[in-house]
Amino acid sequence: MKSYNSFLVAQQQVEEAARILNLDKATTEFLKWPQREFKFTFPVRMDDGRFEIFHAYRVQYNYARGPAKGGIRFHPDETVDVVRALAAWMTWKTAVVDLPLGGAKGGVVCDPRHLSQKELENIARAYIRASADILGVDKDVPAPDVYTTPQTMAWMLDEFETIVRKHQPGVFTDKPLPIGGTEGRRDATSRGGVISVREACKFLNIEPKTFAIQGFGNAGQRAALLHEELLGGKLIAACDSRGGILNPDGINAKELVTHKLKTGTVLNFPGARHIPSDAVLELDVDVLYPAALENAISEKNAGLIKAKIICELANGPTTPEADLILYHRNIFVLPDILASAGGVTVSYFEMLQNSGGEMWEEATVHARLDKKISNAFQSFSDALREKGVHPRLAAMVVGVARVAEACKIRGWV
Ligand SMILES: NC(=O)C1=CN([C@@H]2O[C@H](COP(=O)(O)OP(=O)(O)OC[C@H]3O[C@@H](n4cnc5c(N)ncnc54)[C@H](OP(=O)(O)O)[C@@H]3O)[C@@H](O)[C@H]2O)C=CC1
Ligand SMILES: O=C(O)CCC(=O)C(=O)O
């Protein structure tokens, strides 16, 4: 099977957008690379008394528009190139939703599924001891990503504040509420995605009656609940890393979330039959939500996809070859840098509340998020119409143009 280097994919996407925008050579080259990247190696004491050595990264891709921003992932397959790609996509994502932020991402090579809570805490704190000097409200602001949670942010914030010896809640977002988190952040990624599906359905004149979800963690679970609640559709299939389930008559999203939280998997959900995880991508549904990892949709399966709309809650789930196949098959891709921008948008609201000592009502967060995503969809659909390119390229054109403009105004290129 062909393997993908996500960073090469991210660089190719910049080149394509730069060509449409007629960017000069220096600007294009500058935007193809991270401005700063850090590699950390640290020992952590494990529950059995041994020390284990962990490798970790933080990539600050571009900060022309504001402090670098993006999650920290704990995953066994993490590499510097994956983190670079994720940091690049954060840069275009914050620009597409027009936030005064740059893009960053971090990662620790580890498998949380085989670590205790104490070991995870030790890793989180060690990561901050290694990186504290490059983080800050006006430098770089992390958040959770795959296999990290608000609890991870709480440990990281505590370690950071112990080092700097003052309260700095805005240095981490998607924190638990009692230490400065915001209402509405936990489901913000999925809420943003579902809002973008609502806008796409108006744009395409489609009714989002049935949907399937690949990946059933934070983003996937909340998408299941919110699609049902806001758009009224029926969930027919879902999967996680252990396998998938299908029930064409419909799966109650709330019951499936409860089942997943109780048993750790979507498997054995009453009334549904088992299917391979990847089969969830190929079902005949109105909307497909990839909500797991990169490169799930490639030239291998793009020809088999039957969804009308693909809403990319995951970062980088579709390869460039698949983008073209889907475009020519008239399947509408809501690209990650728009569809998954709800999370960072509400993270920005959290930063605003932390700096002003405010606590917004949940309804305020939801209304402001809706406005941001709806406006971003408008810029994206304008670019689609004006440039006549496939959806990811249209979104990239919006994001890259804004970042390039900020670099130029600063006199960088
Ligand atoms: N959290 C956020 O705010 C944001 C997240 N994203 C992106 O959304 C995606 C999911 O993140 P999030 O929900 O936070 O992460 P979680 O760790 O909460 O969930 C990840 C899910 O993906 C599943 N998974 C992993 N590998 C596979 C596979 N091969 N096939 C099917 N499922 C798989 C996991 O399965 P299992 O449960 O069995 O481990 C888990 O259910 C990532 O791409 C992330 O970068 C994007 C924007 C913001
Ligand atoms: O809220 C954040 O800063 C993290 C968002 C993120 O990591 C993402 O959008 O991929």
From the CA of 76, which ligand is nearest?
Answer: 1
Q: Is 189 annotated as a binding-site member?
A: yes
What is the tens place of the pLDDT at every residue in 236-253?
A: 999 999 999 999 999 999
pLDDT at residue 295, as a whole number: 95
Tokens linked to 38? 């850090």
Q: Where are the domains of the chain?
A: 33-171, 188-339
Is the CB of 343 within 6 Å of ligand 2?
A: yes
Q: Whose CA is nearest to atom 1 of ligand 1?
A: 145
Topology at the third CATH level for domain 33-171: Rossmann fold (3.40.50)
pLDDT at residue 332, as a whole number: 98
Q: Whose CA is nearest to atom 2 of ligand 1?
A: 145
Q: Whose CA is nearest to atom 28 of ligand 1?
A: 241
Please give the Cα distance from 189 to 109 (Å, whole number). 24
Is the CB of 315 within 6 Å of ligand 1?
A: yes
The one catalytic residue in 2, 105, 139, 306 is 105
For residue 82, give the 3-state DSSP assignment.
helix
Q: Is 93 annotated as a binding-site member?
A: yes
Give the strand order in the sheet containing 287-290.
273-275, 243-251, 234-240, 210-214, 287-290, 309-311, 332-334
pLDDT above 70 covers what percent of the chain?
100
Nearest Cα to Cα of residue 256 among 209, 222, 281: 222
Q: What distance in angstroms lies between residue 338's CA and the mean position of ligand 1's atoms? A: 17
- pLDDT tens per residue, the chain (413 residues)? 567 899 999 999 999 999 999 999 999 999 999 999 999 999 999 999 999 999 999 999 999 999 999 999 999 999 999 999 999 999 999 999 999 999 999 999 999 999 999 999 999 999 999 999 999 999 999 999 999 999 999 999 999 999 999 999 999 999 999 999 999 999 999 999 999 999 999 999 999 999 999 999 999 999 999 999 999 999 999 999 999 999 999 999 999 999 999 999 999 999 999 999 999 999 999 999 999 999 999 999 999 999 999 999 999 999 999 999 999 999 999 999 999 999 999 999 999 999 999 999 999 999 999 999 999 999 999 999 999 999 999 999 999 999 999 999 999 99
Whether the CB-CB separation of 100 and 349 falls below 8 Å is answered with no
Q: What distance in angstroms lies between residue 162's CA and the mean position of ligand 2's atoms? A: 24
Q: Is 345 annotated as a binding-site member?
A: no
From the CA of 190, which ligand is nearest?
Answer: 1
Whether the CB-CB separation of 87 and 59 falls below 8 Å is answered with yes
- The atom number, within ligand 2, closest to the CA of 340 reads 9
Please give the Cα distance from 265 to 240 (Å, whole number). 7
pLDDT at residue 1, as a whole number: 54
Please give the Cα distance from 267 to 294 (Å, whole number). 22
Q: Is 347 annotated as a binding-site member?
A: yes
pLDDT above 90 covers what percent of the chain?
99
What is the pTM (predicted TM-score) of this model? Answer: 0.97
What is the tens place of the pLDDT at every residue in 329-386?
A: 999 999 999 999 999 999 999 999 999 999 999 999 999 999 999 999 999 999 999 9
Nearest Cα to Cα of residue 6 among 98, 107, 132, 100: 107
Tokens linked to 333? 């891709």
Q: What distance in angstroms lies between residue 350's CA and the mean position of ligand 1's atoms? A: 22
- The atom number, within ligand 1, closest to the CA of 265 reads 38
Q: Whose CA is nearest to atom 20 of ligand 1?
A: 217
Return the CATH architecture of domain 188-339: 3-Layer(aba) Sandwich (3.40)
From the CA of 78, which ligand is nearest?
Answer: 1
Same fold, 33-171 and 188-339: yes
**10 Å Cβ neighbour count for 381?**
18
pLDDT at residue 377, as a whole number: 98
Please give the Cα distance from 210 to 236 (Å, whole number). 7
Q: Whose CA is nearest to atom 9 of ligand 1?
A: 314
Whether the CB-CB separation of 204 and 309 falls below 8 Å is answered with yes
Q: What distance lies between CA 320 and its chain's CA centroid? A: 18
H/E stretch holding 39: strand 36-45
Q: What distance in angstroms lies between residue 292's CA and the mean position of ligand 1's atoms? A: 4
- The atom number, within ligand 2, closest to the CA of 105 reads 7
Q: Both ends of the chain: CA-CA distance in Å?
A: 40
Q: What distance in angstroms lies between residue 86's CA and the mean position of ligand 2's atoms? A: 9
Which residues, 6 or more positions from 228, have their beta carbon under 8 angstroms from its beta carbon? 234, 235, 253
Check if 139 is active-site. no
DSSP secondary structure, 267-309, as one string: TT-TT-EEE-GGGGGGS--SEEEE-S-TTSB-TTTGGG---SE
DSSP secondary structure, 161-222, as one string: HHHHTS--GGGS-S--GGGT--TT-TTHHHHHHHHHHHHHHHHHT----EEEEE--SHHHHH
